[in-house]
Amino acid sequence: MAISPEPKFQTTGIMVRVLIALVPGTAVAVWAFGLRMIPVVVTATFAAVASEVVCIRSFKTIRDGSALVTGILIGLCMPPTVPFWIVAVGSLIGIGIGKHVYGGLGKNLFNPAMVGYVAVLVSFPEQLTHFDAVTGATVLEVVSHRGGSTLVELSGHPSIGFFGAAGYEWVNCAFLLGGAYLCVVRIISWHMPLAVLVGAALPTVLFYDGGSAASWGSPLFHLFAGGTMLTAFFIATDPVTSPSGRVPIWIYGLFVGIATMAIRKYGAWADGYAFAILLANILLPYIERRVPVAKAWNR
Amino acid sequence: MNSPKQQFPPLDWRGKSPEVLLARVRDAGIVGMGGAGFPTHLKLQAALQSDHRTVVANGVETDPGVTADRALLKQKGSDVLEGIGIVARILNASSSYLAVSNQSIAERLRICNDHDIAISVIDNDYQNGEERVLIEKITGEPISQDSYPAHNGIAVLNVATLFAICECVRDGLAVTKRIATVLGKDQWCEIDTPVHELANTSEKLRVGSFANGRSVKDQDTLKPIHNAISINLSSQALPCIRCGWCDSACPKDLPVERLLSESMGSISSPTAQTHLNECNDCGACVVSCPSRIPIIDYIRESRDRQNESGYIAQRANEARQRFEAKQQRIDSQNQRTMDERERRMQQEHKWQ
């Protein structure tokens, strides 16, 4: 006897599936960056959930899993060498200022995970950019300072992998896999990740010249370096801070991709996805207001 | 269950004139039992204005979790067919159709079909039970959005309404009970029984399906237009996470998410005003919502508010026009008096 058909998923169900989709990426990140990633992610998650409880003084909203997802995303953005208290501060700022200041789930203007990450990134730049223990800098940073020629020079170096940066290529592949799962179970539509990836590939396709010192890295390198896949599948697709409707989705996604690339190339930071997301969040109300809801495009 | 009340003498409808039958439908106070509650005799009178008349019996129910019409067709299928025959006689209809969503019900009804009714099976995809969609599926001709099907001579009646018509005309019975899906079980319910008594539960309830029904208060009773009693799932609603699934679920392609956020914030943008009236309360958005938000309640509330403010504005406008006309009348009256006085003054002056 079916009393009533269930909705496709409930909000809690969405969050659970996002957690499942994050498993391969997290596992590969632990394998690539060392076992210290585990306590980093656990600290971030625990701090996020604790902040949620403190902010609303109740255990009620933990059940929807959104704080859990935010915490894990903050943890995955962090380098393994970061002090744990910085991770905790990131989660606290993300949940507290990024989410509950605005009124909680669904009312926040900015992606809470990115608010927390950017807050600690600009406050503790030294601790957060010592990603690679061997070279003391991420490959992205090297590329950002020395241009695409580095890649050719370093192609035999262990910190450069086959097509992305060492380790990163596999982490990104794993996030791609998890993201594909989310698309298949239709938690997210494939338009947003595709728009971000196209946006990221566009400048590199236009300006890559085979590896001169002034050029950008190759498109393949950039797609599989840094947090590209994490951004495309897990951060840009946050329903609360991304538009609905096909045209706004493409504008938002392309903006995130292009801005990430611009910050990687010209900005002071090695990777730009967090800033790109926050910039896109700022633009979002304007995009939603100015783009008419094109009926036929909405599906 | 006590025996139904005999309100009128039974009629042998095949021998009576359409006017007598229509008067009986009016006197019995039959309303659309699919949910709209529009008086049936008015619908039939509207259809009578047209040259070509068609009866469409709507047995396609797409409300999630509601099976009352199916149960009625299974139990009282021949009565429903007779009801179609009665309406066809009232309208002198050129053709009559019955649309059902179930192949086996259609086969069973075809056996006892002696009223020359075309029985067709329609998938119970969402919105196929909506009258304009149904008409287009059956006759192949769309009805324009700004006219009702009845104005085009097509009387779309729910099968429960037709059953009521048959009972009141043939047997002279008033509408005292109807079949309704109570928490997933189809049962005959006395009209005007308190809803909570029928469902026998203390949970929050809705009359109609869980998607597009209306929430009820403690003492609310079952009306003839209610085809189901369901649990009010939206009492467990979570916040809107702006996933946009309601937008893609909407069969009318309305920007539901935007309408919802505007309704929640009591904002009314110009686009919202047209969209709110386009919505036909199907409830697809409620089904799709992962947070189980009673979207349709907000939409209805906002629409009522908008229509009410439109009504107030209209009344104010009329009052202003009346006031200005009166002011003008007074002014012209004064002017005329002045002119008259002026004229007389001059006349007196002339006499001196």
- How many C-beta atoms surround the C-beta of residue B137 within 10 A? 15
The Cα–Cα gap between B241 and A187 comes to 13
The pLDDT assigned to A298 comes to: 44
Instruction: Kindly state the average pLDDT of the residues B180-184.
Output: 85
**B296-328: pLDDT as tens digits:** 888 888 888 888 887 788 888 889 999 999 999
Q: Are strands B118-121 and B205-207 parallel, antiparallel or unpaired?
A: unpaired
Residue B254 CA, chain-centre distance (Å), reads: 20
What is the DSSP pairing of strand B214-215 with strand B54-59?
unpaired
Residue scoring higher pLDDT (A150 or A114): A114
Q: Which of B:212-241 have CB within 8 Å of A? A: 230-231, 233, 238-241
Nearest chain B residue to A66 by CA distance is: B241
pLDDT of residue B267 exceeding 80:
no
Radius of gyration of chain A (CA): 19
Residue A165: per-residue pLDDT: 55
Chain B residues whose CB is inside 8 A of the A106 CB are 239-242
- Closest alpha carbon within chain B to A14: B290
DSSP category for residue B39: B
Q: Which residue numbers of A have CB closer than 8 Å to B's CBs? A: 1-5, 7-14, 64, 66, 104-107, 239-240, 242-245, 288, 293, 295-296, 298-299
Question: Between chain A and chain B, how many beta carbons pairs sit less than 8 Å apart?
Answer: 81
pLDDT for B290: 84
Domain that includes residue B285, residue range: 245-303
Tell me how far apart the alpha carbons of residues A200 and A272 are, in angstroms, rounded to a whole number.
11
Is residue A93 very low, low, confident or very high in pLDDT (cuts 50, 70, 90)? Answer: very high
Query: How many structural domains are present in chain B?
Result: 3
Distance CA A12, CA B125 (A): 27
**Backbone φ/ψ region at A201: left (φ over 0), alpha (ψ -120 to 50), beta:** alpha
pLDDT digits (tens, 9 = 90+) for A152-168: 444 444 444 455 556 77
Examine the pLDDT at A64 and tell me if it is beyond 50.
yes
Whether the per-residue pLDDT at B203 is higher than 60: the answer is yes
pLDDT of residue B226: 85
Q: How sure is the predictor about A61, in pLDDT bands with cuts at 50, 70 and 90?
A: confident
Quote the pLDDT of residue B191. Answer: 84
* Chain A interface mutation, best of B245, B252, B278, B293, highest count of A Cβ atoms under 10 Å: B245
Per-residue pLDDT of B1-16, as tens digits, reads 445 566 778 878 787 8
Using 50, 70 and 90 to split pLDDT, how confident is the model at A51?
very high
Residue B275 has pLDDT above 60, yes or no: yes
CATH number reported for the structural domain that contains residue B120 in this entry: 3.40.50.11540
User: Which of B278, B303, B328 is where one domain is finished?
Assistant: B303
CA distances from B232 to A259, B67, B208, B237, B292 (A): 45, 18, 10, 10, 10
Contacts of B253 in chain A (CB under 8 A): 295-296, 298-299
Chain A, nearest residue to B236 by Cα: A10
Q: Are residues B45 and B140 in the same domain?
A: yes
**B59 and B107 fall within a common domain:** yes
Residues B32 and B109 in one domain: yes
Distance (Å) from the alpha carbon of A230 to chain B's nearest alpha carbon: 19
Residues B97 and B139 in one domain: yes
Mean pLDDT of B222-247: 82
**Is the same domain home to B25 and B167?**
yes
Q: Answer yes or no: do A107 and B185 touch at CB < 8 A.
A: no
pLDDT computed for residue B218 by the predictor: 74
B231 and B154 share a domain?
Answer: no
List, for residues A30-39, the tens digit of each pLDDT value: 888 888 889 9
Mean pLDDT of chain A: 81
Domain check: are B200 and B283 in the same one?
A: no
Within a domain: residue B9? no
Mean of the pLDDT values across residues B21-34?
85
One-letter amino acid at A238 equals D
pLDDT in the model for residue A211: 59
Among B148, B174, B200, residue at a domain's last position: B174
Distance CA A84, CA A15 (A): 25
DSSP state of A235: I
Pick from B209, B241, B244: CB nearest A105: B241
Give the pLDDT score at A176.
Answer: 93
CA A33 to CA B341: how far, in whole Å? 105
Q: What whole-number distance in Å separates Cα of residue A56 and Cα of residue A68?
A: 15
Helices (H) and strands (E) in chain B, counts: 12, 9
Residue A134 pLDDT = 40
Between CA B143 and CA B132 the distance in angstroms is: 6
Query: Quick check: B209 and A239 CB within 8 A?
Result: no
Checking if the pLDDT of B268 tops 80, the result is: no
Which carries the bigger pLDDT value, residue B261 or residue B218?
B261
B174-209 burial: b if 16+ Cβ within 10 Å, else e:
bbbbbbbbbbbebeebebeeebbebbeeeeebbbbb
**At what angle are helices A273-290 and A112-123 packed, to 10 degrees?**
140
Structural domain includes residue B113: yes
Residues B166-191 have a mean pLDDT of 85
Same domain membership, residue B251 and residue B290: yes
The count of residues in chain A is 299
Question: What stretch of H or E contains B304?
Answer: helix B295-351
B96 touching A (Cβ < 8 Å): no
Least confident interval from A10-24, A224-238, B104-118: B104-118
Residues B30 and B166 in one domain: yes
Indicate whether A294 pLDDT > 60. Answer: no
State mean pLDDT over A108-136.
Answer: 79
Give CA torsion, residues A185, A191, A192, A197, to 10 deg. 110
Q: Does the distance separating the beta carbons of A106 and B239 come in below 8 Å?
A: yes
Q: Percent of chain A having pLDDT more than 70? A: 79
Which of A180, A189, A299, A174 has the alpha carbon at shortest distance from A242?
A: A189
CA A188 to chain centre: 15
Best to test chain B binding among A3, A102, A108, A291 (most B CBs inside 10 Å)? A3
* B169, B226: one domain: no
